[in-house]
Structures are given as C-alpha cells and as structure tokens.
Amino acid sequence: MSTLTATVEPRPEPAAPSRPRYRVTGRRVLRSEWAKLWSLRSTWITLTLGLSFLLAFGLVAAWQFESGGLNDLDDDFEGATAVDLALFGVPFAQLALGVLGVLVTAGEYSTGMIRSTLAAVPRRLPVLWSKAALYGLVALLVGTVGAFVAFLVGGGILSGTSVAQSLSDAGVARSLLGAGLYLGLIGVISTGLGALLRSVAGGISVLVGVLILAPGLVQLLPGSWRDDISPYLPSTAGESMFALTHDASTLSPRAGLAVFLAWTVLVLAGAAYRLVRGDA
C-alpha cells in the first residue's frame, strides 16, 4: 500500500511596489523655489515694507508738496511732477526688496540648506535661474502695484495743483512701469549677489555700497570724470528708466534699461560661474 504525499510549493510574496522615480524638471525646480520663498516669514515682512515705503513716501511727498512744505525744504522739488512725487519712495523700496533678494540665496548658504538643494538638483544652474526669475517677478509686481497706487492716490491729493497729471499724459504710464521694472531687476541683481558672495552681510553691504554710496563718491571726482561715469552707474542708469524728463547728462529710458540689464547679466554670470565651479 503506497502513500502519496502532496508537496505544497510556497507562494511567492508579492513584490513591494517600487517608489516612483521623479525627474528633475524646470517646472519642479520652480515649484520648489516658490514654496521655499513663501515659507519664510522674512518674505512677507520685507515685501510689506517695500510696498509700504513706496506708498508712504510717495503720499507724504504729495501731501507736503500740496501744502507747500517741500518747496520750502528742497529747491529740487521746484520743478517736480506728480510722477516724481509718487516715485519718491523708490530708493527706500529698493533697499527693502534688495535685502530680501540677498536673503533668498545667501540665506541658504548660511543655514547649510543649499547642500540639500543642490543634491536634489545636481545641475545647479536651474536653482539660480529659478530663484532669480521668481523673486524678480515678485519684486516687479510689488513695485508696479506700489508705483501705480502711489500715483493714483497721490494724484487725488495733488488735484488742482500745477503738477497734477493723469495716466493718459505723455510718459506717465511708461515712468510707472519703468519703476516697477527697475525694482524687479533690483530683485534679480540682489539674488545674484547673494549667490555670488554667499554671505548675507556681504551681499547687503555690496548692494548698499553700489546703490547709495557709489553715486556719492562719484560726485567727488573731477567734473569731466563725473559726467562720463555717473550715467552708467547702476542706480543712475536705473533712475533714467523711470524718470519723466531727461537732459544731456542722463541716459534715455532705453539706454538706461540697456545699461541696467548689462549690470544684471554681469552679476548673474558671476554667480553662475561660482555656482558651477565652486563647492557648496
């Protein structure tokens, strides 16, 4: 009598689902940088300050002019226009927006977070382009909105005065858009400086020195040198982008834009070279 023994083969366990593999694309890098930008409390604070500077200084200048205060304090406002008064806060807003731009890039180096960022994006350059493009766009929107609001509200204050203007007047819309574009490019330059110097303090110091101290130092040079150098400084070329009137000593809006774009490209090129060649 024989006994048949049935052998039961063990069932193969189901293979664990493999994790999806994600490719690094430009859109995903942009989304990552966008999330990082708005996760910082300093972003909200500094953008609010930049917008507040544009509005507050523009409206105070309009009110002082309407009441006659500026004419008594400063002869330069004798020939001021409503656009000049509305954009009175641009030099202050550029510092706030510039400081945040430096923090966007140099802040990651100070915390060491840049190592994680570059590990996720080994090609490196898309990180720089994304940071510069996103923050430049944000600064452009803040600057443009602030310039138009300051002009429209200030226009109500200046209504009936000799400097009253409207958006339909020649050059007004171009000046307001030029101010927004200038602040947007300040944002791009500041992110480039942060990536180039990799130091928050160093980036802010260079930004302040170039935008504020350099024009004052150039004024100490002999007249012939001053006239040849001053129009091509970043701040002076940027101002010509949104100035309503021009003379022989200033650049035209297009020439000013071209010079300011050249400075922007130069800073970004230096930042890109160091990012690719240097260690994180």
In this structure, which amino acid lies at residue 268?
Answer: L
Q: Domains in the chain: how many in total?
A: 1
Q: CB-hemisphere CA count at 13 Å for 185?
A: 26
**223 within a domain of the structure (yes/no):** yes
CA distance 105 to 124: 13
Q: Would residue 160 be called left, alpha or beta, if left means φ above 0 and alpha means ψ between -120 and 50 degrees?
A: left
CA–chain centroid gap for 59, Å, is 23
Are the CB atoms for 96 and 46 separated by under 8 Å? yes
Domain extent at residue 195 = 26-277
Phi first, then psi: give them for residue 81, nearest 5 degrees: -115, 170
pLDDT value, residue 116 = 87
Q: Which amino acid is at 140?
A: L
Mean pLDDT per 10-residue interval, the chain, length 280 residues: 51 54 76 89 92 94 79 61 92 95 92 86 90 96 96 89 86 95 97 95 95 89 85 93 86 94 97 86
Residue among 278, 94, 111, 126 nearest 196 (CA): 278
Map 113-164 to HEC letters.
HHHHHHHHCCCCHHHHHHHHHHHHHHHHHHHHHHHHHHHHHHHHHHCCCCCC
pLDDT reported for residue 192: 96
220 contacts 214 by C-beta, under 8 angstroms? no
Asked if 154 and 171 touch (Cβ cutoff 8 Å), the reply is: no
Burial 210-226 (b: 16+ CB within 10 A, else e): bbeebbeebeeeeeeee
* Inside any domain, residue 205: yes
Q: Which residues contact 68 (CB under 8 A, 6 or more apart)?
A: none
Query: What confidence score (pLDDT) does residue 1 get?
Result: 44
Residue 135 lies in a domain: yes
Q: Of all helices (H) and strands (E), which one includes residue 234?
A: helix 234-242
Is 14 part of any domain?
no
Residue 180 in any domain: the answer is yes
- Domain assignment present for residue 9? The answer is no
Report yes or no on 5 lying in a domain. no
**pTM for the whole structure:** 0.88
According to the model, what pLDDT value does residue 5 have?
52
Instruction: Note whether residue 179 is domain-resident.
Output: yes
Say which residues have a Cβ less than 8 Å from residue 52's Cβ, sequence separation at least 6.
none
Closest by Cα among 134, 146, 254 to 187: 134
User: How far is C-alpha 110 from the geometric centre of its chain's CA atoms?
Assistant: 20
